[in-house]
């Protein structure tokens, strides 16, 4: 299927490269045009000057933008230019309600929508090994499968529209807890004067081992917080989680509440564009 990508940030650009490698990529669009021009040049394809131009050329469109309002803005920009039966896949992390709104708008113009948020970081996007959680019609997923296999190694159909995003909320709550645990434990180890590279090596392969300590443990120890996954984006995700949690009997979860406060503090200090491992900045201060 002729495929277009809208949104060429840290994740979307890698997805586009992997689609190109497998011969699916037709065109790319990015709000900041220079990024689309550069990537199109690199991949030897044409770039589109508007989301509408992607719509007219594509049988499948992958969206990877930041926030709920950005996704809905892109849906609005393409909806009147799509060919019937086009499949639109949103890989951004947004709320289940936004996924449902997008699906309704696109159904009305005889096209199909799947919410397909991903996990695995920029490394997963680069290597085409993302985990993808899918909401929508499973028969549409089957039609899109060859293209999605180019960007994700583990594609799991969850259920109706919105359930991909609900699953991503589960993932993001877990990621917050892991970030809290890893940054706090490594700050403690550093304060004790341990050889921290060795500590990361050994704990990475034991029962406490996880993706985050393996990929971000050593960089945070030398105060490198290149994104990665921008802290402000995880704050956005946890705000979505907070409202979804509230819908379940007016509840709140401690990890979500605490991490939102910590991230807000870091954002206020100007660290919102750093990787989420920048939480280590706050944890180190506990031992000063
Ligand atoms: P990013 O590097 O900040 O890129 C965001 C992209 O969205 C850029 O291409 C940006 O265009 C575009 N965009 C934002 N608002 C827009 C709008 N109103 N109209 C059109 N384009 C708009 O973010 P990212 O890390 O790629 O993340 C993208 C999505 O994937 C987010 O929802 C994030 O939560 C999710 N995600 C990220 C990771 C990760 O590890 N980074 C992992 C899983 C999921 P400009 O270039 O013009 O700014």
Tell me the pLDDT tens digit for each residue of 23-48: 999 999 999 999 999 999 999 999 99
Q: How far is the C-alpha of 232 from the C-alpha of 229, rounded, in Å?
A: 9
The three-class DSSP label of residue 253 is coil
* Contact of 233 with 66, CB cutoff 8 Å: yes
Is-catalytic flag, 100? Answer: no
Beta-bridged to residue 29, according to DSSP, are 6
Ligand 1 test: best mutation among 4, 5, 6, 10, most atoms within 8 Å of CB?
10
Which of 4, 5, 11, 13 should be mutated for ligand 1, with most atoms under 8 A from CB? Answer: 11
What local confidence, expressed as pLDDT, does residue 98 receive?
Answer: 97
70 lines ligand 1 (CB under 6 A): yes
pLDDT band at 59 (very low <50, low <70, confident <90, very high): very high
Q: What is the mean pLDDT of residues 40-65?
A: 97
For residue 41, what are the CA distances in angstroms to 22, 24, 45, 56, 261?
Answer: 17, 16, 7, 21, 42
Q: What is the pLDDT of residues 230-267, one digit of tens each?
A: 999 999 999 999 999 999 999 999 999 999 999 999 99
Q: Could you report the per-residue pLDDT of 121-159, keeping only the tens digit for each?
A: 999 999 999 999 999 999 999 999 999 999 999 999 999
What is the number of the ligand 1 atom nearest to the C-alpha of 7? 9
Pocket probe for ligand 1: among 66, 123, 169, the residue whose CB has the most ligand atoms within 8 Å is: 66
* Residue 44, SS3 per DSSP: coil
- Check pocket membership of 251 for ligand 1, CB cut-off 6 A: no
Of 100, 143, 145, 168, the active-site residue reads: 168
**Is the confidence at residue 219, as pLDDT, over 90?**
yes
What is the C-alpha to C-alpha distance for residues 30 and 35, in angstroms, rounded to an integer?
7
Q: 3.30.390.50, 3.40.50.720, 3.20.20.370, 3.40.50.2020: which CATH number matches 3-160?
A: 3.40.50.720
Q: Whose CA is nearest to atom 13 of ligand 1?
A: 65
Q: What is the mean pLDDT of residues 206-212?
A: 96
Give dist(CA 218, CA 225) in Å, integer: 10
Share of the chain above pLDDT 90, in %: 99
Strands, E assignment, 41-142: 46-47, 60-63, 87-90, 112-115, 118-119, 130-135
Domain ranges of the chain: 3-160, 166-285
Question: How far apart are the CA of 100 and the centre of ligand 1, in A?
Answer: 20
Q: Strand pairing of 60-63 and 87-90?
A: parallel
| pLDDT of amino acid 279 | 98
* Architecture category of domain 166-285 in CATH: Orthogonal Bundle (1.10)
Instruction: For CA atoms 153, 156, 160, 161, give the dihedral sign.
Output: negative
Report the pLDDT averaged over residues 201-218: 97
pTM of the full structure: 0.93
Handedness of CA 255, 256, 258, 262 (dihedral sign): positive
Distance 278 CA to ligand 1 centre (A): 19
Range in 23-27, 63-67, 211-215, 225-229 with the lowest mean pLDDT: 225-229
Has residue 228 got a pLDDT over 90?
A: no
> How high is the pLDDT of residue 227?
78
Q: What is the mean pLDDT of the chain?
A: 97
What is the percent of the chain where pLDDT is above 70? 100
């Amino acid at each position: 299927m002729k495929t277009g990508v809208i949104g060429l940030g840290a994740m979307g650009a890698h997805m586009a490269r992997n689609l190109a490698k497998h011969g699916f990529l037709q065109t790319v669009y990015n709000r900041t045009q220079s990024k689309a021009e550069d990537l199109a040049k690199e991949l030897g394809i044409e770039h589109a000057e508007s989301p509408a131009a992607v719509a007219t050329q594509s049988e499948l469109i992958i969206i990877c933008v930041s926030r709920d309002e950005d996704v809905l803005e892109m849906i609005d920009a393409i909806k009147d230019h799509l060919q019937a039966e086009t499949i639109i896949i949103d890989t951004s992390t947004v709320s289940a309600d936004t996924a449902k709104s997008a699906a309704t708008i696109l159904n009305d113009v005889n096209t199909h929508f799947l919410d397909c948020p991903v996990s695995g970081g920029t490394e997963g996007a680069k290597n085409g090994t993302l985990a993808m959680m899918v909401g929508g019609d499973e028969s549409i997923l089957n039609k899109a499968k060859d293209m999605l296999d180019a960007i994700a190694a583990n594609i799991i159909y969850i259920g109706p529209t919105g359930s991909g995003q609900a699953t991503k909320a589960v993932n993001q709550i877990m990621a917050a807890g892991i970030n809290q645990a890893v940054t706090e434990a490594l700050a403690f180890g550093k304060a004790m004067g341990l050889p921290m590279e060795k500590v990361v090596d050994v704990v990475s392969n034991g029962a406490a081992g996880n993706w985050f300590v393996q990929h971000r443990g050593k960089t945070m120890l030398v105060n490198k917080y290149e994104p990665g996954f921008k802290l402000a984006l995880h704050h956005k995700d946890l705000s979505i989680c907070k409202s979804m949690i509230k819908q379940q009997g007016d509840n709140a979860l401690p990890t979500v509440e605490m991490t939102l406060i910590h991230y807000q503090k870091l954002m206020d200090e100007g660290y919102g564009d750093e990787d989420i491992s920048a939480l280590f900045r706050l944890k180190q201060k506990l031992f000063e």
